[in-house]
């Protein structure tokens, strides 16, 4: 299986840089990996180099899965450049938001990082 992503920790932010589009199951494995092995209080999902395209139901299920895994206060910024990915991630934002988690979608990576560090 080809590598879909890389995870780096820089400047207090855990960055998931997608190299190729992950499957629904791969996204769940990435969430597992981050929740168990990385600081997740500030996360950036960089979708700028892939065609991110999931169904509304898959987006809802991914959001629900993340709610069960990330149990401490956290912020999630999503950097998406394509219109489709941006729109889908805005749906994700609605499904994912809860008292301890604040997601936000950006078209500019630096704005996303600035928001995480506020």
Task: Output the CATH code of domain 5-116.
Answer: 3.30.750.24
Domain-wise residue ranges, the chain: 5-116
**92/89 Cα distance (integer angstroms):** 5
Tokens of 97: 């938001």
Report which DSSP code applies to 20.
S
Task: Give this prediction's pTM.
Answer: 0.91
Give the tens place of pLDDT for each residue, 10-64: 999 999 999 999 999 999 999 999 999 999 999 999 999 998 889 999 999 999 9
* 44 vs 87: CA distance, rounded Å: 17
């Amino acid at each position: 299986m080809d590598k879909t992503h890389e995870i780096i920790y820089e400047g207090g932010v855990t960055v998931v840089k997608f190299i190729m589009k992950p499957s629904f199951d791969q996204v769940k494995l990435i969430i597992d990996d981050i929740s168990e092995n990385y600081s997740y209080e500030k996360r950036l999902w960089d979708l700028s180099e892939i065609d991110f395209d999931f169904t509304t139901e898959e987006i809802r299920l991914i959001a629900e899965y993340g709610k069960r895994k990330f149990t401490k206060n956290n912020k999630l910024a999503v950097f998406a450049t394509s219109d489709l990915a941006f729109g889908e991630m805005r749906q994700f934002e609605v499904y994912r938001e809860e008292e301890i988690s604040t997601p936000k979608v950006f078209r500019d990576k630096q704005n996303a990082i600035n928001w995480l560090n506020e």
